[in-house]
Amino acid sequence: MLEKAIKGSALYWIWLLVLLAVIGAGFGAYLTQLEHGLTVTALDRDVSWGLYIAQLTFLVGVAASAVMMVIPKYLHNHQAFARMLILGEFMAVATIIMCLLFVIVDLGQPQRLMNVVLHPTPSSVLFWDMVVLNGYLFLNILIGWVTLQAERKRVGPPRWIKPFIYLSIPWAISIHTVTAYLYAGLPGRDFWLTASMAPSFLASAFAAGPALLILLAFAVKVFAKWDPGREAIQSLAKIVTYALAAYLFLIGCKIFTAGYSMVPDKLAHWQYLYFGLEGHTMLATFMWVSTAAGVTALLILLFPKNRQSDNILAFACVLVLICTWIEKGLGLITTGFVPTPMKEVLTYAPTGPEILITLGIYGIGFLIITVLWKVGIDVRKEIEA
């Protein structure tokens, strides 16, 4: 089926070239980082994780969200997702690869990566994150490819794939849960030290992932002249709405605990996040944009009429992505570190190379999505022709 990836319109090739250029720029920046070390980033002794790990956290959620189509399709026989499911699975493949790349670029000694396998350490959540992320990548490549191949041959998927599909459901939940546990079990990081981390990760994931999927589906409609189906998109829109509401509710719960208990160690992080401390207000500005985007999106999506209009739905989905990306991709990690254990307050602003490397990895992800979706959609066109 891969041959379909090398037969495309001029637009397809131009898009791939643009992505390759972005990847090239990112790769160049990464070479500088390899040469000089992570000193090219804005990370320091106190904020020791930043943009890279934040993107990992955000994208694990997007990857996990494929399960929001698998559950209705396979557990509730919701056939509207039948045509589009493959796109969700392939998006999961691309996002997990991005996640793994973000881990690698964050390492000080990337050539020792295999030490995690050579010296397996079950007490470390990072070890388990490695296990679940690679397992999920394997599951989605396997399931996506086997079901697509079966469809192409116009037969039902082989029976042996069913257990893998059912396994992929708890596995999807596990990748984001384990990623939340990276943070939620650290003594002395009061911002992260809460049982609501995993649920709130999942809620934001199930809002952000389907929102991105809806936007990409609209793009496919325009550029690939293939309609994933109105009912599928409408179902996704409902999922985004519920998940976004749950996510905003959970943020409210966290703020209540910190705000009403007034325990300084908890409260200080939230003050830093939303108002800034000691003049460090850069992050707070972003967070208000995030909050405004999230609340506006919910107000729009709550009304079925709005969801049924493609343009309004697309706009709301963009807002959802802005909201969740700022919260996870910018706010969550830095705020866990600030105020520092020594109660210092500082601002972490990523450097040029850091941003270039990040964009490069997003480029790789979009390249993989483009190629895999091209294959998937061409196969579907072939069947439906």
Partner 1 sequence: MKSSRRKFIKLAGLTALGWSVCPSLASARSNRYRKIPGALKADRWAMAIDIQKLSDEVMQKAIEACHRLHNVPDIDSRQNVKWIWVETFKTLFDDQVHAHQMEGKEKLPLLTLCNHCDNPPCVRVCPTKATFKRHDGIVLMDFHRCIGCRFCMAGCPYGSRSFNYSDPRRFLNNDELSPDYPTRSKGVVEKCEFCAHLVDQGERPACVEAAEGVLFFGDLSDPDSEVRRVLRDRYSLVRKAKLGTEPQVYYLI
**Contact residues for partner 1, defined by CB under 8 A:** 36-39, 41, 43-46, 48-49, 103, 106-110, 112-113, 115-116, 118-119, 121, 123-127, 130, 182-183, 186-189, 336-337, 340-344, 346
Instruction: Between 178 and 239, name the residue whose CB sits nearer to partner 1.
Output: 178
Report in angstroms how near the CB of residue 280 gets to partner 1 at its nearest: 13
Q: Using an 8 Å Cβ cutoff, are 143 and 51 in contact?
A: no
Query: What are the residues whose beta carbons fall under 8 Å from the beta carbon of 109, sequence distance 6 or more?
Result: none
Instruction: Between 215 and 345, name the residue whose CB sits nearer to partner 1.
Output: 345
Instruction: Between 38 and 68, name the residue whose CB sits nearer to partner 1.
Output: 38
How far is Cα 98 from Cα 100, in angstroms, rounded to an integer? 5
Report in angstroms how near the CB of residue 26 gets to partner 1 at its nearest: 19
Report in angstroms how near the CB of residue 169 gets to partner 1 at its nearest: 26
Q: Using an 8 Å Cβ cutoff, are 181 and 173 in contact?
A: no
Instruction: Between 142 and 186, name the residue whose CB sits nearer to partner 1.
Output: 186
CA distances from 263 to 182, 255, 257, 269, 325 (A): 23, 12, 9, 11, 28
Instruction: Between 114 and 155, name the residue whose CB sits nearer to partner 1.
Output: 114
Q: At what angle do helices 230-261 and 197-223 cross, to 10 degrees?
A: 150
Report in angstroms how near the CB of residue 94 gets to partner 1 at its nearest: 23
Q: Using an 8 Å Cβ cutoff, are 92 and 141 in contact?
A: no
Length of the chain: 385
Chain centroid to Cα 232, Å, comes to: 20
Is the link from the previous residue into 339 a cis peptide, with omega within 30 of 0? yes
Instruction: Between 107 and 302, name the residue whose CB sits nearer to partner 1.
Output: 107
How far is Cα 231 from Cα 248, in angstroms, rounded to an integer? 26
Q: In this structure, is the dihedral angle defined by the CA atoms of residues 140, 142, 145 and 151, taken in order, positive or negative?
A: negative
Q: Using an 8 Å Cβ cutoff, are 229 and 85 in contact?
A: no
Instruction: Between 183 and 206, name the residue whose CB sits nearer to partner 1.
Output: 183
Q: Using an 8 Å Cβ cutoff, are 238 and 314 in contact?
A: no
Closest by alpha carbon to 66, among 93, 45, 30, 33? Answer: 93
How far is Cα 232 from Cα 349, in angstroms, rounded to an integer? 39
Instruction: Between 88 and 336, name the residue whose CB sits nearer to partner 1.
Output: 336
Q: Using an 8 Å Cβ cutoff, are 320 and 211 in contact?
A: yes
Report in angstroms how near the CB of residue 313 gets to partner 1 at its nearest: 38
Report in angstroms how near the CB of residue 336 gets to partner 1 at its nearest: 7
Instruction: Between 193 and 314, name the residue whose CB sits nearer to partner 1.
Output: 193
Report in angstroms how near the CB of residue 349 gets to partner 1 at its nearest: 12
Report in angstroms how near the CB of residue 186 gets to partner 1 at its nearest: 5
The DSSP 8-state label assigned to residue 277 in this structure reads B
Here the tokens at position 350 are 């990523």
Q: Using an 8 Å Cβ cutoff, are 167 and 139 in contact?
A: yes
Q: Three-state DSSP class for 2?
A: helix
Report in angstroms how near the CB of residue 231 gets to partner 1 at its nearest: 44
Closest by alpha carbon to 120, among 110, 111, 131, 112? Answer: 131
Report in angstroms how near the CB of residue 360 gets to partner 1 at its nearest: 20
Instruction: Between 52 and 270, name the residue whose CB sits nearer to partner 1.
Output: 52
